[in-house]
Amino acid sequence: MLDVGQALSVVAALPGGHYVVFDAGDDVRGNPVLDGVREVVPDDEDIDLLVISHPDVDHLNDALSLLDAYRGRVRRVVRTGFLEGASQTWRRLDSTITARAEAGELVDVNLQRTELPPGATYRYGDAFVTFLAGAPEPPDDWGLTGRSERKNAISVAARISYRGGSVLIAGDAFGRARGTSEAAESTERMMEAAAATERDMIAFAPVVPLASDVLVAAHHGADDASSAAFIGAVDPTWVVFSAGEGHGHPRRTTAERFVAAGVAPWRILRTDAEDPAEDKEWARDDWPRPAGAGGDVDVAITGGGHVFVRYRGSVRD
C-alpha cells in the first residue's frame, strides 16, 4: 500500500513474476504512484492486471503515467467505465484505454460492456485475484441519489489470496445507510446492518468468501463504509487505512468499530504519517507507530500462508 496521500494505490508482486496494481491514485502533491510501482515492478516486466476501482480522481490520477511508462506491458485493465459526473482526467483515461484495447495492446474489461460477477477470478501462479464487487452503475434498489455515493458504491473490490493468506481491497465501496449518525452510541453502531455494496458482498459470502487476514479499508476510513456487519464478515486480523490530509480520514468512529470487533489497535496501520491531525479523525495517540516508520505499508504472505504486515522503515527506503 503506497503512501499517496488522500488516495489509493496497492502494488502486488505475485508468484512466477506476475504483478497486479489496484488503483493508481495520486494526491497531486508529490506522491506519484509510478515511483512506488517501479520499486516493485521492473521496467521490462508486464503488469498483468491494472484495476481502476471507480471514477474518482484519487484512485486514478497517475494511471496515464503508469500506462505510458509500461506501454504494451499492461496486459489487462478492469474498470467500471462509469461516466456519470466523470472528470476530464477520467475521460482521458477512458479514451486511452479504449484506444489501446482497439489497437490490441491490452484487454479492456469495461463493466459497461463486460460482466464481471462476484467470484470471477484470475489465477497467477498459486495466487488468485477474486472480484467481490463492481458494477456498471448502482442498482436502483440501493436507493442512492448523491453523485459521490453513486460513484463510490459501484467501486470494484477484490481479494488477493495465496496459500491460505489473503488481502481484501475494498476500494471506495459504500456500506453504511444514509442517516446513520457518527454520534450514535457505540453499541448501536456495532449492531447495524450493511447497506449497498457491503450488503451485497455479505449476501454472496457463502459462495464468494470475504474472510481475509488483511483489509484495506473502504473509502480511506470514511464513516460511510466499514459497517459493523461487513467488519464481522471479513473478520480481519490487520486493517490498513490509505488516508491523507483534507478529509479527516480515517474517522475515529470507523476505527472504533474495528477495535470493538476485536482488531488490536497495533494491528491497524495508516499511510498518513506526515499529515496533521484533523477533527473527527482517529486520534494519533490511539495507535502505536514505530519510530521512523514511513507511510508505505508492506504485506508479505509466505509459502506457508503466514501473513506479515509492517510499515516500511521510510517512505521510500
Q: What is the pLDDT of residues 76-129, one digit of tens each?
A: 999 998 887 778 888 999 999 999 999 999 999 999 999 999 999 999 999 999
CA dist., res. 157 & res. 116, Å (int): 11
**20-29, 92-101, 226-235: segment of lowest average pLDDT:** 20-29
pLDDT (tens digit, 9 = 90+) per residue, 246-269?
665 688 889 899 999 999 988 998
The reported pTM is 0.90
Between 226 and 185, the more confident residue is 226
Q: What is the CATH number of the domain that holds 82?
A: 3.60.15.10
Greater confidence, 281 or 101?
101
Average pLDDT over residues 146-164: 90
Q: 176: which DSSP letter?
A: S
pLDDT for 282 equals 66
Q: What is the mean pLDDT of residues 168-178?
A: 86
**How confident is the model at residue 314, as a pLDDT?**
39
What is the rounded distance in angstroms from the CA atom of residue 88 to the CA atom of residue 20? 25
Q: What confidence tier does 29 reach under pLDDT thresholds 50, 70, 90?
A: low
Q: Is 5 inside a domain boundary?
A: no
Q: How far apart are CA 99 and CA 119, in angstroms?
A: 28
- Alpha-carbon distance of 52 to 78, in angstroms, equals 6
Per-residue model confidence (pLDDT) at position 183: 45
- Whether the bond between 32 and the residue before it is cis, its omega within 30 degrees of 0, is no
Residue 15 confidence class, pLDDT cut points 50, 70, 90: very high
Contacts of 188 (CB under 8 A, 6+ apart): none
Region 149-164: mean pLDDT is 92
Strands (DSSP E) contained in the chain are 10-14, 18-22, 49-52, 76-79, 107-110, 121-124, 127-133, 157-162, 165-169, 214-216, 238-241, 268-270, 297-301, 307-311
Within a domain: 1: no
Pick from 23-27, 247-251, 270-274, 311-315: least confident: 311-315
State yes or no: pLDDT of 310 exceeds 60.
yes
The pLDDT tens digits of the residues spanning 50-76 come to 999 988 888 888 999 999 999 999 999
Asked if residues 305 and 274 have their Cβ atoms less than 8 Å apart, the reply is: no
Residues 3, 296: contact at Cβ < 8 Å? yes
- Check residues 246 and 204 and name the one with the higher pLDDT: 204
Residue with the bigger pLDDT between 184 and 80: it is: 80
Residue 36, pLDDT > 60, answer yes
Residue 2 inside a domain? The answer is: no
SS3 content of the chain, % helix, strand, coil (to 5): 25, 20, 50
Record the cell numbers describing residue 75, joined without a space: 496486459
Task: For residue 116, give every residue at least 6 positions away whose Cβ sits within 8 Å of its Cβ, in sequence order, or none.
Answer: 78, 109, 131, 134, 156
Judge contact between 238 and 212, C-beta under 8 A.
no
Taking the C-alpha atoms of residue 312 and residue 2, their distance in angstroms, rounded to an integer, is 10
Q: How confident is the model at residue 316 (pLDDT cuts 50, 70, 90)?
A: very low
Stretch 230-239: mean pLDDT: 96
- Domain containing 263: what range? 10-311
pLDDT at 86: 73
Residue 192 lies in a domain: yes
Phi and psi angles of residue 24, each rounded to the nearest 5 degrees, phi first:
-135, 55
- Assigned domain for 200 exists: yes
Residue 190, SS3? helix
What's the pLDDT at 284? 63
CB 71 within 8 A of CB 105: yes
Total number of domains in the chain: 1
* 23 touches 59 (CB < 8 A): yes
